[in-house]
Amino acid sequence: MNITSLIRAAARLPVSGKIGLVLVIFWIVIAAIGPFIAPYPPGSFANQEVFAASSSQFWLGSDFLGRDVLSRLLSGARFTVGLSAVAVTIAASIGTGFALMAAVGPRWVDELLSRGMDTLISIPSKIFALVLVAAFGSSLVLLTVIIAITYVPGNFRIARSLAVGLARLDYVEVARARGEGRLHLALVEVLPNMIKPLFADIGLRFVFIVLLLSGLSFLGLGLQPPDADLGSLVRENTSGLAEGALAIIAPAVAIASLTVGVNLLIDAATQGKAR
Amino acid sequence: MSSASPASRWRGPVQLVAKRIGLAFITLALVSAVIFTISGLLPGDAAQEVLGQGATPEQITALRHEMGLDRPAPVRYFEWVRGIAIGDPGQSLVANMPVADIISERLPNTLVLAGLTTLFSVPIAFLVGIWSAVTRGRAADRALNIMTLAMVALPEFLVATIAVLVFSVKLLWLPSITIVPQDPTLGEFLRAYAMPVMVLGVGVIAQLGRMIRAAIIAELDRPYVEMAVLKGVSQRRLIFRHVLPNAVGPIINAMALSLSYLFGGAIIVETIFSYPGLASLMVNAVTSRDMPLLQACAMLFCATYLLLVLIADTVAILANPRLRQG
């Protein structure tokens, strides 16, 4: 797939999909360059006034300590988008790796993996994440791993059903009869044909992960100060709720625009394929 | 169609249901092992937590022995499982009282919240699902699709923040903290619960509505629907007498899934509104690393989830005539 065909595919999206695409690209760009365009260092007490309203100097006002909300949002977005992207990559790599093993491996491997994942999937993801955080704590690295592990079973379930379906097809049988090894079957024959539906699943899981991470940070169990993601920003400014401070509304709306954007994009992209 | 006697006609589904119940118990046992293992992996243990940083190694060893923590892990695991089975999951480390007492105080509150949210959101979800299914592909369906798609992706604390801003800060209609009144009048009761129920309901309505739409549309594409349409059946009758009974299986499944979503949502919502329920209790247990309390809460949530799935499976089996034949 080259760039022109990508642009053509984007142009074919319905309006909702285009809005989603714009939001997604916007947040990727912000995550990449956010800290460089921030008007103030995120930790500096730039404003005398706390919970100040929007002004030309402080576009999104100031927070509960008088820090610039825009600058904190720009650096928080990097944590939210970056950490979630890393976590979803880990989750999908493990989940899909196991799924491929289940599809081309011996039967007992499939049985073992499927039973194990069935067990983990019957622990609601937020509950599972809470137990893991309680046991291991939530440093940046641990938090990423915990969130990734939480979403491995879901990805495994989708990827396994795709992979097992493909592995039964004739062309894979032919490759097997040709004497290809299991690694070749998994990576060359099966994996390339499940990429598209897999990407839709990864996108949805990214949304879940952003929501879980923000939720944990909002509860004070996620990212720990001085680091702050968008959920932490909502948490630290809850005292501004009664006055309707921008400091609490802006990060909450930022999270929503990211997750809604991804959802709109995936919905539009997958519907186009079905038609 | 076999002309089996009523008794043998039910043997198939009863066996299926019994098998599901057995599977649910096995899963619950495995889940308990997972939760016990994870929460026991950390280096420091309960004795260390209770005595704090300044304790001498001798004190810790003594307390470990007293609390039974120096016994092998499998022994402790079976003790714990036995305790849970007889309703005594141990002693809370922080509150210094039986976990069972704390939970039995909080559990009713969460059940009330979950029950009210179900009553509020399930009918609306049906309305949304049916309406978008019958207007499939038209403007109403597309608008509902975008709306529910966005609602699924909204973080609960955004919905809660907006609700508080609108209803307590601007309009001064509702309290921003949920205090369960003693012997409330109906009005007080509804006022106290209106906001948490609304906030929790948003996610349930969106998710369940989408799944109901999908279930109905899957049925609408079947030949029998075309037959009924050609026969001149009215749309109302078509949906309620022909389609919905056939879609019971997937719809019940969707309900189980979205009700289990309630627990996750409740974690945020109970915390925001300072509601004394089980989910906010669990958050406190994580913050204070009160492992016995945390383990008990986690098991309760997992057991409820498995129970919901089991009920959904059972209803689906009993409602499906093909499965009923065995």
Touching A: B residues 275-304, CB under 8 Å: 282-283, 285-287, 289, 291, 294-295, 298, 301-302
- Residues of A in CB contact (< 8 Å) with B are 16, 118-120, 122-127, 130-136, 207, 211, 214-215, 218-221, 231, 234, 241-244, 248-249, 252-253, 255-256, 259-260, 262-264, 267
Rounded (5°) CA angle B167-B173-B176: 60
Of A118, A134, A215, which is closest to B268 when you measure between CB atoms?
Answer: A215
> Encoding tokens for residue A70?
């825009």
Residue B260 and residue A220: Cβ atoms within 8 Å? no
Of A118, A127, A221, which is closest to B298 when you measure between CB atoms?
Answer: A127
Residues in B touching A126 (Cβ below 8 Å): 263-264, 267
Instruction: State the smallest CA–CA distance between residue B289 and chain A in angstroms.
Output: 6
Distance of alpha carbon A213 from alpha carbon A146, whole angstroms: 10
Which amino acid appears at position B246 of this protein? N
pLDDT at A273: 47
pLDDT at B1: 44
pLDDT at A85: 93
Does B241 or A147 have the greater pLDDT score? Answer: A147
The mean per-residue pLDDT over the stretch B154-166 comes to 87
pLDDT at A144: 92
The answer to whether B39 contacts chain A (CB < 8 Å) is yes
pLDDT at A148: 94
3-state SS of chain A? CCHHHHHHHHHHCCHHHHHHHHHHHHHHHHHHHHHHHCCCCCCCCCCCCCCCCCCCCCCCCECCCCCEHHHHHHHHHHHHHHHHHHHHHHHHHHHHHHHHHHHHCCHHHHHHHHHHHHHHHCCCHHHHHHHHHHHHCCCHHHHHHHHHHHCHHHHHHHHHHHHHHHHCCHHHHHHHHCCCCHHHHHHHHHHHHHHHHHHHHHHHHHHHHHHHHHHHHHCCCCCCCCCCCHHHHHHHCHHHHHHCCHHHHHHHHHHHHHHHHHHHHHHHHHHHHHC
Question: Which range has highest mean pLDDT (A251-255, B45-49, B59-63, B287-291)?
Answer: A251-255
Residues in B touching A259 (Cβ below 8 Å): 153-155
Residues in A touching B306 (Cβ below 8 Å): 122
Instruction: State the smallest CA–CA distance between residue B94 and chain A in angstroms.
Output: 14
Judged against a pLDDT cut of 60, whether residue B317 lies above it is answered with yes
Instruction: State the smallest CA–CA distance between residue A211 and chain B in angstroms.
Output: 6
Contacts of A126 (CB under 8 A, 6+ apart): A212, A215, B263, B264, B267
The answer to whether B194 contacts chain A (CB < 8 Å) is no
Contacts of B111 (CB under 8 A, 6+ apart): none
Of A118, A132, A241, which is closest to B161 when you measure between CB atoms?
Answer: A241
- For residues A58, A63, A67, A72, the Cα torsion angle rounded to the nearest 10 degrees is -80
Nearest CA in chain A to B310: A122
pLDDT at A25: 93
Residue A218 and residue B301: Cβ atoms within 8 Å? no
pLDDT at A147: 93
Average pLDDT across chain B, whole number: 83
Distance of alpha carbon A76 from alpha carbon A57, whole angstroms: 20
Instruction: State the smallest CA–CA distance between residue A7 and chain B in angstroms.
Output: 23
Distance of alpha carbon B19 from alpha carbon B17, whole angstroms: 5
Those residues of chain A that have pLDDT short of 50 are: 273-275
User: ipTM, 2 decimals?
Assistant: 0.84
pLDDT at A13: 83
> Encoding tokens for residue B170?
């601007």
pLDDT at A90: 96
Of B38, B156, B302, which is closest to A135 when you measure between CB atoms?
Answer: B38
> Encoding tokens for residue B321?
């005539």
Give the number of other Cβ atoms within 10 Å of residue B64's Cβ. Answer: 17
Of A134, A249, A267, which is closest to B294 when you measure between CB atoms?
Answer: A134
In this prediction, residue B326 has a pLDDT band, given cuts at 50, 70 and 90, of: very low
